[in-house]
Amino acid sequence: MILAEDEASLYLQATTRAVWAPKGQTPVTRVHPGREMTHFYGVLNLQTGQEIARCADALNAGATAAYLKEILAAIPDQPILLLGDRGPCHSGPPLRELLAANPRLETLALPVASPDLNPQEHVWKAARQAALHNHAIPHRAGLTERFEGYLNCSVFPSSLLDHYGFNPISPMFK
């Protein structure tokens, strides 16, 4: 199974997009003054488009290892190739221990400064557009629930495997 992984942070502040309003009556968007945030880990199954996203208190090697343990439990008895960026939370003793204890999990770091190659980045963008733009949710918990619900209930097709010729040859690996 080939998965793409990434992290994102969610602020209560609304992002604005074009909206319809009567001429001369520009809508007012209230912005929360704080910088509190909720972190998310997400993996995209590149073959099915299924997303597995979870909230996290922090983005560090320990939290990443804990999240990957959840992924291993959710996908038992199947080899996993995990594509991801080279962020600081992807290295450290907790991850080295996890990888050593789980040989069915292999990681492949994408090139530096190439978010366009990571399909999970496109998932974050779609989720932000669907769940965060022009929102009027006053509490971070409600916004977090809306964002996570959208991620885990939607399918996000990716053309990465088609682009690199994997899908035509994938039956050979079954």
Give a yes or no: residue 29 inside a domain.
no
Give a yes or no: residue 19 inside a domain.
no
pTM of the entire predicted model: 0.82
Q: What is the CATH number of the domain that holds 100?
A: 3.30.420.10
- Structural domain span for residue 157: 2-12+36-173
Give a yes or no: residue 113 inside a domain.
yes
Q: What is the pLDDT along the chain (174 residues), one digit of tens a residue?
A: 999 999 999 876 666 667 778 888 877 666 656 667 899 999 999 999 999 999 999 999 999 999 999 999 999 999 999 999 999 999 999 999 999 999 999 999 999 888 888 999 999 999 988 887 666 666 778 888 989 999 999 999 888 877 776 655 455 445
Give a yes or no: residue 24 inside a domain.
no
Give a yes or no: residue 27 inside a domain.
no
- Residue 84 burial by CB count (10 A; 0-12/13-18/19+): exposed, middle or buried? buried
Give a yes or no: residue 23 inside a domain.
no
**Confidence (pLDDT) at 130:** 85
Number of domain units in the chain: 1
Give a yes or no: residue 101 inside a domain.
yes
Count of Cβ atoms closer than 10 Å to residue 4 Cβ: 27
